Structure 1
Amino acid sequence: MKEIDGRGFRMESLGIYIHIPFCIRKCLYCDFLSFPKGRAQQALYFDALEKEILLSATGCGKYEVQSVFFGGGTPTAVMPEAIVRIMKALFDNFSFKDDAEITIECNPGTADLDALKAYRNAGINRLSIGLQSAKDDELKRLGRIHDREMFEECYRNAIKAGFENINVDLMSALPGQTLTDWEDNLKYVCTLDPAPCHISAYSLIIEEGTPFYELYGEDNENKDIAVSVNMQDGSEYCQNPRLPLPDEDTERQMYHRTEEILSSYGYRRYEISNYSAKGKECIHNLRYWQGGDYLGLGLGASSLMKNERYHNTSDFERYIETLNGDFSIGEAEGKDGAISLSAENQRLLDIREDVEPLDEKARMEEFMFLGLRLTAGVSANEFRSRFGKEIGEIYGGVIEGLREKNLLEWDGDTIRLSAEGLDVSNYCMAEFLL
């Protein structure tokens, strides 16, 4: 993949995602692959993860790592030594750019000053803190384990530990949340001292299989009495009375006020839900949206390598047993009885699922609907370079149709969604499916 105006990535560059599936308690809205596990199970997991790193590195010799992202779950919910161990394994087995961006997600209440110093000393240089709300009542409704004071302690400690590149996550459209509540949350984060370099601001989505779906799913929309759900840790959550979600008009106002307020504090919107100070865009996430290669390591982690998508198994026992287990009798052996490299690499294939080679059609679709998430848009010249075709030849009708509706702009080489188009981005992106 060639460099584009300083925004793209060379074919030899690589992003690595590390999935840490453990958490102290699953939040009410969360549908991510995460769960509480004891120290013994965590130890087995990190043994397997280190093994996957060693095996995966053998096929990545031509790559230079530009970004690493520890996500979860809550990566900071495990012992810091486990993360330090994984960082060492990465540095020992992959080639890194000198200025590689290395991010770890952190929830307040899961990392003290010593832990944050350990992460920083291990080479992690970017922290993403999951605040979600600056109001304790809203945090409680989400099932978060922290309050505002715990966030402020975490933020202060992060600065003391040497983190200069910090993202803060905020979530809108929460139960009982008003427009003023959301505006207060935005202003609170913007006035932190020092201010964060990056803010991710997105709205709550009610996902099936979560406690919130029991409270707010389609079958429960008209409930106005006290409701309760069983939490993963065996406790019961009760909301009395059941607080309504913001209506559609209020949610739309929240969406528009987000950019208005953040831009007034100097943050530039560079992606649908992401804002940053100049030059502090998240390099790892840009890779996803611009189609760069990335390697997912850990339970359920997804990868895009050499125009092929796949993800690891989400079965904890299968992941552990495949990577940690002994080879069965009859597996290929090399000289002197040593297990052959091909037999070792078979372990990687055995944890992969839904392997999908991307044909040209799929790659063109992804180039458009992922790239249009960025306010910078996509490049017609880059489209020609990648696919040997003019973008108008493939998408001319779609582009003109969206332009006529004032949803899309084409300015020289750049095609981007308009302000109105960003408001209905899902509709616009769906138009580029061939």
Structure 2
Amino acid sequence: MKRELELYIHIPFCMKKCAYCDFLSGPAPRETIDRYVTALVAEIRQYQKLAENYRVTTIFFGGGTPSILSGGQMKEIFDALRDVFEIQADAEITMEANPGTVTKENLQAYRACGINRISFGLQSVDDKELKLLGRVHTMRQFEESYDLARKAGFQNINVDLISAIPGQTVASWEHTLDTVIRMNPEHISAYSLIIEEGTPFYEIYGEDAKEEQDSRCEKCLADDGKQMDTGKNFPKLPDEEAERRMYELTAEKLEAAGYLQYEVSNYAKPGYACRHNKGYWQRVEYLGIGTGAASLIENERYQHISDTDLYIRANGKLDQIEEEKEKLDWNAQVEETMFLGLRMKEGVNKQKFRERYHREIQEVYGEVLEKLKEEGLLREEEKRICLTKRGNDLSNYVLAQFLL
């Protein structure tokens, strides 16, 4: 019997690098994008033998900005995918898109390829906050793109939002939530801003910059995401109390609007939870295709090279693009099951744990489970173990208890 497989396809190109982004992505000339698609198709065709053992249940095009591809390029990729893989008839096929990069013609072409879910990176409805983040779109462009997607037939749309943006208030975050709720997408992902090393934001807000905070308050980000003196105060990050209230407000408002929180940062209307992401948190095997993509196949993790030029030159030769292979032992597999599974509201299924690892979860984590339940951080039910609301707030502490 064929096993389930999820595909992740990385498109590492975007119009402009955002000030907070540490993903493997950046602008590139059209010629480079064309050559990348050719290499991507060549890689896909190397998986004939592997594909014999699997049926694909979800496909996710991430980036970068996958909507930077033309309809013709997307068709090339799908022709190769269907030649190589058995793709389930009801497979969830998602494409990330940046507002302002989609057209009526491209959206129709994407739908014709089989893409049935689109994820828009809105982040904020406030144009000032968007500019601060380094986004290339406005709220109006998002509204236009969203409307085009609906008219093209997309009935499953996600909207990404970011809270705790510098200068953001609880009131402005509430306005973002209210505005998006009125647009009625099927899914909303609401993340809190993380200041990542190597980004322009880190130079201002990162740990290394804290001692120099006073000297930096007279600086702000230019349109290209770099610092420049302007004589204006750069907005501060919201404090912990405001960030906590934003998180609580998100859950309250989205629940009242009919969205179920099925994971720490993800909310969906009934029946619209992202199947691809749930598969990842439940350790379904997945194959990453493209530069920098990660895979989990038969409990072996490996990564592709992150140099896009080298990836293009390899032209699909797997021995030249695969690196950082790691075979996960039993302990590592169990730890991942707990770390990832407890992110979801439904938690870790005790029967599935037993079937996969041939031991009861209490045998492995009995003392830890009792300790966390006594502390009010974990709840055990007949079929599952999951975080309480307090446990969710202290998830980093809780998850650290499951190291073996």
Identify whether the pair has TM-score above 0.5, normalized to the shorter chain. Answer: yes
- The reply on whether 1:129 has 2:120 as its aligned counterpart is yes
Could you list the per-position Cα deviations for residues 154-184 of structure 1 after superposition, in whole angstroms to 9, with x for gaps in the alignment? 0000000110000000100001000011111
The amino acid across from 2:72 in the alignment is E
Name the SS for the 1:246 alignment partner: coil
Partner in structure 2 of residue 201 of structure 1:
190
Equivalents in 2 of 1:292, 1:103: separation in Å? 17
CA RMSD of aligned residues (A): 1.6
- Structure 1: gaps spanning 5 or more residues: 1-9, 325-346
Could you list the per-position Cα deviations for residues 110-131 of structure 1 after superposition, in whole angstroms to 9, with x for gaps in the alignment? 1111111111111100000000
The amino acid across from 2:185 in the alignment is P
- 1:84, CA displacement in angstroms? 2.1
Match of residue 211, structure 1, among 183, 190, 200: 200
Match of residue 356, structure 2, among 386, 389, 404: 386
- The reply on whether 1:432 has 2:395 as its aligned counterpart is no
Could you list the per-position Cα deviations for residues 130-159 of structure 1 after superposition, in whole angstroms to 9, with x for gaps in the alignment? 000011111011010011100000000000
Partner in structure 2 of residue 278 of structure 1:
270
Equivalents in 1 of 2:51, 2:69: separation in Å? 28
Q: 1:305 to 1:241 in 2, by over 3 A?
A: same
Superposition pairs of residues 310-329 of structure 1, within 5 angstroms: 310-323=302-315
Could you list the per-position Cα deviations for residues 75-132 of structure 1 after superposition, in whole angstroms to 9, with x for gaps in the alignment? 1123332122112211222111110000000010111111111111111000000000
- The reply on whether 1:183 has 2:174 as its aligned counterpart is yes
Could you list the per-position Cα deviations for residues 317-344 of structure 1 after superposition, in whole angstroms to 9, with x for gaps in the alignment? 22112226xxxxxxxxxxxxxxxxxxxx
The amino acid across from 2:372 in the alignment is L
Q: 1:238 to 1:290 in 2, by over 3 A?
A: farther
Contact 1:22–1:78 (CA<8 Å) still a contact in 2?
no
Contact 2:2–2:55 (CA<8 Å) still a contact in 1?
no
Name the SS for the 1:59 alignment partner: helix
- The reply on whether 1:73 has 2:73 as its aligned counterpart is no
Match of residue 420, structure 1, among 384, 390, 399: 390
Partner in structure 1 of residue 238 of structure 2:
246
Q: 1:360 to 1:130 in 2, by over 3 A?
A: same
Partner in structure 2 of residue 401 of structure 1:
371
- 1:57, CA displacement in angstroms? 3.2
Equivalents in 2 of 1:36, 1:80: separation in Å? 19
Q: How many residues align?
A: 400
Identity of aligned residues (%): 50
Superposition pairs of residues 26-65 of structure 1, within 5 angstroms: 26-65=17-56
Q: 1:218 to 1:236 in 2, by over 3 A?
A: closer
Partner in structure 1 of residue 249 of structure 2:
257
Equivalents in 2 of 1:280, 1:15: separation in Å? 17
Could you list the per-position Cα deviations for residues 357-392 of structure 1 after superposition, in whole angstroms to 9, with x for gaps in the alignment? 111111111111110001001111111111111111
Equivalents in 2 of 1:234, 1:79: separation in Å? 27
Contact 1:11–1:293 (CA<8 Å) still a contact in 2?
no
Partner in structure 2 of residue 340 of structure 1:
none
Equivalents in 1 of 2:282, 2:111: separation in Å? 28
Superposition pairs of residues 296-311 of structure 1, within 5 angstroms: 296-311=288-303
The amino acid across from 1:386 in the alignment is R
Contact 2:377–2:388 (CA<8 Å) still a contact in 1?
yes
Partner in structure 2 of residue 334 of structure 1:
none
Partner in structure 2 of residue 294 of structure 1:
286
Equivalents in 2 of 1:270, 1:51: separation in Å? 37
TM-score (normalised: structure 1): 0.89
Could you list the per-position Cα deviations for residues 272-315 of structure 1 after superposition, in whole angstroms to 9, with x for gaps in the alignment? 00000001010000111000000000000000011110010001
- 1:229, CA displacement in angstroms? 5.4
Partner in structure 2 of residue 173 of structure 1:
164
- Structure 2: gaps spanning 5 or more residues: none
- 1:350, CA displacement in angstroms? 2.4
TM-score (normalised: structure 2): 0.96
